[in-house]
Amino acid sequence: MLWLCRAARQPQRDNNMKVTTLLIICSGLIFGSLGKPQFPEREKDPNFWNLGAQQTLSEALTLQDLNKNKANNLILFLGDGMGIPTVTAARILKGQLMGQSGEEMQLEMDKFPFVSLAKTYNTNAQVPDSAGTATAYLCGVKANEGTVGVSAAAVRSQCNTTQGNEVTSILRWAKDAGKSVGIVTTTRVNHATPSAAYAHSVDRDWYSDNEMPPEALEAGCRDIARQLFENIPNIDVIMGGGRKYMFPKNMSDVEYPGVAKQSGLRKDGRNLVEEWKDKKKDKKGFYIWNKKQLLSLNPNNVDYLLALFEPGDLMYDLERNTETDPSLTEMVEVAIKILKRNPRGFYLLVEVTSIRKCRATTCCQTS
Numbered residues of the known binding site for Mg(2+): 80, 191, 193, 351
Is 130 part of the annotated catalytic residue set?
yes
d(CA 81, CA 160): 31
Closest CA to 323 of 294, 286, 364: 294
Known binding-site positions: 80, 191, 193, 351
Closest CA to 266 of 218, 210, 310: 210
CA torsion sign for 51, 228, 206, 291 is: negative
Contacts of 364 (CB under 8 A, 6+ apart): 89, 358
| DSSP result, 229-278 | HHTSTT-SEEEEE-GGGTSBTTPPPSSSTT-GGGS--BSS---HHHHHHH
Q: Where are the beta strands (DSSP E) in the chain?
A: 73-79, 180-188, 237-241, 285-288, 304-308, 346-352
Q: Give phi and psi for 211, each to the nearest 5.
A: -95, 0
Question: Which of these is catalytic: 130, 195, 201, 354?
Answer: 130
**Beta carbons of 155 and 161 less than 8 angstroms apart:** yes
284: DSSP letter: T
Contacts of 198 (CB under 8 A, 6+ apart): 149, 169, 171, 172, 183, 227, 228, 231, 232, 235
Q: How far is CA 219 from the centre of its chain?
A: 26
d(CA 220, CA 209): 11
**How many degrees, rounded to 5, is the angle at CA 13 between CA 11 and CA 16?**
135
Q: Return the number of other C-beta atoms located less than 10 Å from residue 143's C-beta.
A: 33
Known binding-site positions for Zn(2+): 80
Report the greatest alpha carbon distance in the chain. 91
Active-site residue list = 130
